[in-house]
Amino acid sequence: MLQTVFQRRTHRVSRGSSLSAGSMSYRSAEPRAPLTELEEAVLVALTGCTGLTMPDRPFADPRTGAPIMAKPNLTMAGRTAGSPDNAQGTAFFLINDSGTYFLRNLPPPPNGASLRDPDELVARAHEAKVRISDRRIDVPGDDRDFPAYLDSNRFLSNLPGTTILFPVVDLSRQYINGLMYLLTQPAGARPTIVDDRNFYRPAGVKRWIRKGFLNKDIKLPLGAVGALRTQIEADLLLQNLMLGADAMGLGAWIHGTISPPVLLGDPKFRKRYGPMLNFEWAVPRWRIADVLRWHVPLPRHAALRANAIGLSHDGGYLLRAMCPPHFPTMRHAVEAVVADKFGTDGIYTDNAVFERIFRESFGGTYLKEASDYAADVIECTIDICTYIYETHGRFPAHCEAIHVPGVWLQAHHVDEPYYRRYFQDGLTEAHLSHDRLWHAT
């Protein structure tokens, strides 16, 4: 691992590629060489579930003995990278020569066996892949200029023979859960949520200030709440993919995607580029206050605040934000998050999962003794979320419902003659031995 970290370098030139670079121009004599099923399956596994997490946290405040919230996790399924409150809101798409795929987050593998056996890895990758297009998602070759691709990326990115993995993050579920967790602070430490896009007025919490549930002297703007850090999941997972590909001796390159609004099918770009991934978008109804709140001057510019809220396929949803129109109201959305955690079929009512995590009978002990969300926490969260949606016409308002970091990872077989010709130490031992180790016949 340390060797991979210390030798990690970007390798942009895939086998079979050419580039115009003055006196260093290069035309490859190598054929294109797409990744094998096993090579792709290893990368898919690096994005997916690897087992169950451990709720190794206190149940009570040691100063007072008062119970504290010890069940913040949205899921107990763990991945190769950390996640705030284990939200695991990140999903990946995969692009290769055979098409464009959505990668479903599969449940934990039994005893980790499928993460060690090549045949099981390939089978698990097949199970995760949902083909949403039979072609490599892209814009026409003569239309690769901005705003589709950025600068030199357009000449080496998303070429035949390469595999692309890119993340999108549902922020909406953890936004609700994170607000509830925030409101479980001790009495006197619960902040008053204010809206920095609406003159710092209380964000639907006036009655909670009057009741003394929130501390009026601790003001937390919704803009500072941001995405509750959920967006970092994608960055961590991309780094794992980079290191994993490098350790395998593949070329790996994290760089700008096709512009996210273009890629997801923002209504403003569909006329030029088509639906692309064909996400569902919600356009908030324009209100005169939006001139000051969001600097949107006229109704005809309301689409500037268009927000991707879901992706459907074959009559079902692959991604669905926790907001209208997927739910009648924000109350329904919040209650759905609570039910997914504590309802009849919720995470924290599934004894079998916690029997797999803990030894002996400690799983039952945890479920019995660790606290759930109190009713006032849930109701205050409903008021905040309702305020956001009714005031700003979308949820969340201060960040996206579905966040696209705007970077993806390309994995490919490196063009070894190019790197031997122009660079000192351009290839690691992993690159030089890759064909012998992974493609021996």
DSSP class per residue in 181-231: HHTTSPTT-PEEEEETTTTTEESS-HHHHHTTSSEEEEEEEHHHHTTTTTT
Distances (CA, A) of 209 to 5, 186, 189, 197, 388: 50, 15, 12, 20, 17
pTM: predicted TM-score of the whole model, two decimal places: 0.94
| Count of positions (residues) in the chain | 441
Amino acid occupying residue 76: M
Pairing of strands 90-96, 163-170: antiparallel
Mean pLDDT of 157-162: 96
Q: What share of the chain is helix, strand, coil (3-state, %, to 5)?
A: 40, 20, 40
Whether the CA torsion 295, 297, 299, 300 is positive or negative: it is negative
pLDDT of residue 115: 78
Closest CA to 371 of 53, 55, 86: 55
Distances (CA, A) of 352 to 59, 102, 186, 369, 396: 21, 29, 32, 17, 34
pLDDT class for 440, splitting at 50, 70, 90?
Answer: confident
Per-residue model confidence as pLDDT tens digits over 327-353: 999 999 999 999 999 999 999 999 999
pLDDT of residue 138: 93
* Three-state secondary-structure class, residue 274: coil
pLDDT of residue 181: 95
Mean pLDDT of 387-399: 97
Amino acid occupying residue 319: L
Torsions phi, psi for 291 (to 5 deg) = -60, -45
Closest CA to 93 of 137, 139, 29: 137
Helix residue spans in 281-438 (DSSP H): 290-293, 330-342, 351-357, 362-369, 375-392, 416-422, 429-432, 434-438
pLDDT of residue 111: 62
Asked if pLDDT for residue 116 goes beyond 60, the answer is yes
- Do 105 and 129 touch, CB atoms closer than 8 A? no
Beta bridge pairs of residue 96: 99
Q: What percent of the chain has pLDDT over 70?
A: 99
Torsion of CA 346, 351, 354, 360, to 10 degrees: 170
Torsions phi, psi for 167 (to 5 deg) = -100, 150
pLDDT of residue 141: 74
Per-residue model confidence as pLDDT tens digits over 241-282: 999 999 999 999 999 999 999 999 999 999 999 999 999 999
Number of C-alpha atoms within 13 angstroms, CB side, residue 275?
8
pLDDT of residue 407: 96
pLDDT of residue 151: 82
Torsions phi, psi for 256 (to 5 deg) = -65, 135
Q: Indicate the range of 127-136, 139-148, 232-241, 294-303 predicted with least confidence.
A: 139-148
Q: Indicate the range of 33-42, 144-153, 189-198 predicted with least confidence.
A: 144-153
Mean pLDDT of 393-411: 97
pLDDT class for 237, splitting at 50, 70, 90?
Answer: very high
Per-residue model confidence as pLDDT tens digits over 68-77: 999 999 999 9
Per-residue model confidence as pLDDT tens digits over 213-228: 999 999 999 999 999 9
Residue carrying the six token digits 């795929």: 101
Mean pLDDT of 99-119: 84
- Do 166 and 43 touch, CB atoms closer than 8 A? no
Q: What percent of the chain has pLDDT over 90?
A: 91
Number of C-alpha atoms within 13 angstroms, CB side, residue 26?
21
CA pair distance 195, 185, nearest whole angstrom? 20
More confident residue, 114 or 309: 309
Distances (CA, A) of 197 to 153, 246, 387, 402: 36, 44, 12, 20
Query: Residue 404 has which token pair?
Result: 């696209």
CA pair distance 395, 403, nearest whole angstrom? 12
CA pair distance 148, 139, nearest whole angstrom? 7
Mean pLDDT of 364-390: 96
CA pair distance 67, 58, nearest whole angstrom? 9
pLDDT of residue 112: 52
Mean pLDDT of 363-367: 95
pLDDT class for 140, splitting at 50, 70, 90?
Answer: confident
User: CA 283, 149, 321 angle in degrees (round to 5)?
Assistant: 30
Mean pLDDT of 374-386: 97
Residue carrying the six token digits 């960040």: 399
Asked if pLDDT for residue 210 goes beyond 60, the answer is yes
End-to-end CA distance of the chain: 28
pLDDT of residue 298: 96
CA pair distance 45, 106, nearest whole angstrom? 10
